[in-house]
Amino acid sequence: MIFDFDQHLFEYPEMWMDHCDPDKRHLALELTRDELGYPWLYSRTTNQLMWIYGKTVPEDGFVSFFGPWQNWKDRKPAEIDYVADTPASCTNPKARVEQLDELGVDKTILYPHFGAVWGRYVYNRLDIIRANFTAWNRWAVAVRQEGAGRLEPTGHVTLRGGDLGWLEQELAYLGSNGIKAALVSYGLVDGRRMSHPDHDRAWKAFVDNGIVPIFHIQDADVRASCLDEGWFVDAGDPLFTALDMTFSHLGVQVAAADLILNGVFDRFPDLRFATVELTAGWINGLIGMSAEGIPGSTGNVINGPGLDISYRYEAVARRHTVDLKRQPSEYLLDHFRSTVNPMEPIASYITETGLENNVMFGSDWPHSEGFAHPLTTFGAVLDDITPEQKAKFYGGTAAELLGVS
């Protein structure tokens, strides 16, 4: 089975309004057009234009992604209707199933498209965030039902807000309707670390409802690096600046290390995470240079001595903050799975550095940074692995993680 663990489904313009709870429709996002004719994702509640509604095309040099933005910045009128120009396979579940046949993919996970960006614009409005996450979750269930067993849309949730009742309700709804995973932002949660005991209810709800939490490189209300917003004052791009990209592994490394070193996986041994579009270089760098670990890191990620040495040092310097049952690196390898990019040394990950059970195939279709012919692109760099290893990489690991056939 070919299981693509990284595809995105565009929210059609009326999605939020159609699926929002009736008493929350005043909070629903919608589509509006500006004076130049560009369609925008829009919050009527805050009177805020968020994101230009336009298609993306894999491997087009980002023309489809940046073109509308650049034309808008140059104050050029929209020459095409970007909503009408978006192919049905971007928004329609049945059309996406047909697209899978063209890509040679049997089954795919589906993440939100606009859901990965709009949360930053309404960060202080948890009511808007929750209402529109709920709308996506309701649509995700409908998409799965239309997907003929080939579409596995994720849910979208947040740990923020203090009261975890909303999160528990959403996860129960998703799990009871066959959804196997949900996006959740990594980083501090209202100022609390992810491993804080107040969040144990959240991790228990993920496990009890059979939901795998997924960290995506951009998930609404956090930067990839998780650096403080003070670093980005006057930044030209509100979402992904050069500084943020330079340290794009930092946030997930800190989040994973926090969960491990503060004992979350001893308390919840069945909890598993996936990371998407963050590469697997962050794993090698986090393990560090210990003799029994994976040497070095990839992608020029700069790290300290790694989990195991740091944990042992704490024991020498003073008592451990938390006494773990295993070595920290063992939790990392057992509890995290990651999609990779064909520009990474994937074969080396699998054959030399012990990540055979950790790396997964993902095309990022239909994003411009994704791949138009993913099996061909990935296949060109995977000649040196065995058929059994290919079976795990192209679908076995993903299917096991989600518990699907």
Q: How far apart are the first and last CA of the chain?
A: 9
Contact at 8 Å (CB) between 166 and 83? Answer: no
The distance of Cα 60 from the centroid of its chain, to the nearest Å, equals 22
The distance of Cα 157 from the centroid of its chain, to the nearest Å, equals 12
Q: Is the pLDDT of residue 290 over 70?
A: no
Per the rule left: phi > 0, alpha: psi between -120 and 50, beta: everything else, 178 is left
In a domain, residue 70? The reply is no
Domain count, the chain: 1
In a domain, residue 82? The reply is no
In a domain, residue 71? The reply is no
Q: How many Cα neighbours within 13 Å face the side chain of 388? A: 3
The whole domain housing 295 covers 3-10+89-402
Query: To which H or E segment does residue 135 belong?
Result: helix 126-146
Query: Alpha-carbon distance 375 to 2, whole Å?
Result: 9
Least confident of 62-66, 134-138, 219-223, 227-231: 219-223
In a domain, residue 52? The reply is no
In a domain, residue 36? The reply is no
Number of Cβ atoms within 10 Å of the Cβ of 230: 6
In a domain, residue 41? The reply is no
Q: What is the 3-state secondary structure (H, E, C) of 193-246?
A: CCCCHHHHHHHHHHHHCCCEEEEECCCCCCCCCCCCHHHHCCCCCCCCCHHHHH
In a domain, residue 330? The reply is yes
Q: What average pLDDT does the structure give for the chain?
A: 92
Least confident of 13-17, 67-71, 129-133: 67-71
Q: Judge if the upstream peptide bond of residue 295 is cis by omega within 30 degrees of 0.
A: no
pTM of the model: 0.94
Q: Are strands 29-33 and 48-52 parallel, antiparallel or unpaired?
A: unpaired
Give me the percent of the chain exceeding a pLDDT of 70. Answer: 95
In a domain, residue 44? The reply is no
How does residue 220 score in pLDDT terms, banded at 50, 70 and 90? low
pLDDT digits (tens, 9 = 90+) for 297-347: 344 444 677 888 888 888 887 677 789 999 999 999 999 999 999 999 999
User: The CATH number of the domain where 286 resides is what?
Assistant: 3.20.20.140
Contact at 8 Å (CB) between 58 and 365? Answer: yes
